[in-house]
Structure 1
Amino acid sequence: MRWDVFTWAALALVLFAAETMAPGAFMLWLGFAAVVVFLGVLLIPGIPLLAQAAAFIVLSFISIQVYRKWFRGRERQSDQPALNRRAAALVGRVVPLERGIVQGHGRVQIADAYWDVAGPDLPTGATVRIVGAEGMTLQVEAV
């Protein structure tokens, strides 16, 4: 077996294995490019090494663009888009103030967690609606 054929086959397998270890759909497309170069070198002997490398780079770029254009935008949308964004998941809830809002800052308790809030000055116990979040600070308005 020729060394260039073996090298491209091994590179394709390594890239596919790397994709399984750290999934992200990036190495997969580089692996596809390596497979195409492998097939080209297998079927057409004598391709210079520089041309092989250039073909791999061009095919990698093309395959990643194909992924970005046709496959990335077609991913399923989550039925719970705020699942891992806890502050965003709280938007719309109505809760009482645990500590009144003084000079724009206060605190609420939601379940077993305390959250800093920002909004208009209100006394302790006033009911507020969560309207947004900036980092870990909830934006509230009086109900």
Structure 2
Amino acid sequence: MPFDLDPHWLWLIAAIVLAIAEIVLPGFFLIWLAAAAAITGAIAFFFALSVPLQALVFAIAALAAVYAGRRYMKVYPAESPDPMLNDRTARLIGEIVTVVEPIGEGHGRVRVGDGVWNASGPEAPSGTTVRVVGAQGNTLIVGPL
């Protein structure tokens, strides 16, 4: 064995590495494999198993852990308290913004916070205050107040 470690220590180290990988590369999948490696390490600690048998225990534990994880996620889905967290344009609907480049022929630019966004809507000169009524891609659709 590498570094002259007992097999159960290698499984436990693998569990820690997989758990850290889950933190670095979140996807809510590696944590189940980390659990399977920890289970395999615990079983290898208590019972003298050959390496192929340890691999079989890991495979069975991994299947069981992933199955349990999928069932858990169906019962308790990961929901954000903010359903529009990653939809910036949808979050702006209803906001009052200021036209910074006149909206002419349906297109112009508006100031939102400290940024400037493309906008479409009825004609409006610079300085006009308008309300965001919708979004199409990264263009805000504005209307009069």
TM-score in terms of structure 2 length: 0.68
> Which runs of no fewer than 5 residues in structure 1 stay unpaired?
none
What displacement does 1:74 show? 4.4
Q: Distance in 2 between matches of 1:39 and 1:105?
A: 65
Q: How many percent of aligned residue pairs carry the same amino acid?
A: 30
Q: Distance in 1 between matches of 2:98 and 2:49?
A: 76
Name the counterpart of 2:18: 15
Q: Which amino acid aligns with 2:135?
A: A
User: 2:109–2:117: 8 Å Cα contact kept in structure 1?
Assistant: yes
The one of 71, 75, 80 equivalent to 1:77 is 80
Q: Distance in 2 between matches of 1:15 and 1:46?
A: 22
Larger mean Cα displacement after TM superposition, 128-137 or 27-36: 128-137
Q: Deviations over 1:17-71 (max 9, x none)?
A: 4445x1624332211101111233333423451x432432342243234334324
Q: Which amino acid aligns with 2:58?
A: F
Matched length: 139
Q: In 2 relative to 1, CA 95–16 (structure 1 residues): closer, same or farther, beyond 3 Å?
A: closer
TM-score in terms of structure 1 length: 0.68
The one of 21, 35, 39 equivalent to 1:36 is 39
The one of 7, 30, 49 equivalent to 1:27 is 30
Q: Distance in 2 between matches of 1:58 and 1:118?
A: 57
Q: Deviations over 1:98-122 (max 9, x none)?
A: 3333333111123432211123x41
RMSD: 3.3
Q: Distance in 1 between matches of 2:66 and 2:49?
A: 27
> Which runs of no fewer than 5 residues in structure 2 stay unpaired?
none
Q: Deviations over 1:111-142 (max 9, x none)?
A: 432211123x4131555321233443212234
* In the alignment, structure 1 residue 128 sits paired with structure 2 residue 137: no
SS in 2 for 1:114: strand
The one of 66, 75, 80 equivalent to 1:64 is 66
Q: In 2 relative to 1, CA 130–54 (structure 1 residues): closer, same or farther, beyond 3 Å?
A: farther
